[in-house]
Structure 1
């Protein structure tokens, strides 16, 4: 397992992983009016092609950090069910990405979720963490926001998720900038 510096990168655009890896981007949104949250995740290869995507409703949480931690855990569960390994896990919340990438005990309110995430990735071939600015995470953000409209989890395999087509197009225009 590789624990990379999880500080936000200076790039405002999504960047593909190395040739031998996949990138899992995730995001979460809190819908206070509906008393629930939403999770979005997208897995892409080094060419930027969609391998899998997910939009799901989650439990109600009171803050963004807890929502993002739960979102990361749900996204990892999804990636494991779809049998992806050799991944870079990327989110836009620096608190969560640092907590996950750190080897120290996390005593925060979401520490148990961080422990779950660390357990999920233990023993996997290659896992790196990075934090990206929101602009570089818009596909996952679109899927998390879309969860407001669904009842059951939606999964896309090797198809572009319709709710995120505009964000995917934007990412393709700016790859390697």
Structure 2
């Protein structure tokens, strides 16, 4: 069975932290797992997206998912992780970590989606702003994103 991973990041400059979130769903759109986590202070959206993807893939591996379609809304970033070309940016070590995590899975497909298609994890961003510790949901829908999940299911 192939699962879909959506992830996103948010930068909370005034609070000197970031938020990372992920949602893993089956082919019927049902939530298999979710994460809303606190990240370090980050300066750029590219750095935030890369760190959120790495953290999300660590979550995928830890939760024992093996076949994943990764969906993200940043075109440059999605191209960077799907390419075999050496990345010479200041974040090349994070790209390498992501590629290593993807190589540990049985099957991976990378897909760029429009920002509106990442609505559920975007809603979880607002939730991450007020967290004191990371939250994980297994086979349960994250309460802060119930409305967005419901709207997504209506579109299926």
Distance between the aligned counterparts of 2:54 and 2:16, measured in 1? 20
Structure 2 residue 116 is the aligned partner of structure 1 residue 135: yes
What does 1:23-42 align with in structure 2 at a 5 Å threshold? 23-42=4-23
Distance between the aligned counterparts of 2:64 and 2:24, measured in 1? 11
What does 1:32-71 align with in structure 2 at a 5 Å threshold? 32-71=13-52
Contact between 1:41 and 1:140, CA under 8 Å: does it hold in 2? yes
Identify the residue that residue 147 of structure 2 maps to in structure 1.
166
Structure 1 residue runs of 4 or more that deviate by more than 6 Å after TM superposition: none
| Aligned-pair CA distance for 1:138 | 0.8
What does 1:63-102 align with in structure 2 at a 5 Å threshold? 63-102=44-83
Identify the residue that residue 154 of structure 1 maps to in structure 2.
135
Corresponding pairs, count: 156
Distance between the aligned counterparts of 1:64 and 1:108, measured in 2? 14
| Aligned-pair CA distance for 1:166 | 1.2
Contact between 1:28 and 1:68, CA under 8 Å: does it hold in 2? yes
Distance between the aligned counterparts of 1:56 and 1:166, measured in 2? 20
**Structure 2 residues not aligned, in runs of 5+:** none
Distance between the aligned counterparts of 2:135 and 2:104, measured in 1? 28
Higher helix share: 2
**Structure 1 residues not aligned, in runs of 5+:** 1-19
Higher strand share: 2
* Aligned partner of residue 149 in structure 1, secondary structure: coil
What TM-score do the two structures reach when normalised by structure 1? 0.86
Distance between the aligned counterparts of 2:37 and 2:87, measured in 1? 26
Contact between 1:26 and 1:71, CA under 8 Å: does it hold in 2? yes
What TM-score do the two structures reach when normalised by structure 2? 0.97
* Aligned partner of residue 129 in structure 2, secondary structure: helix
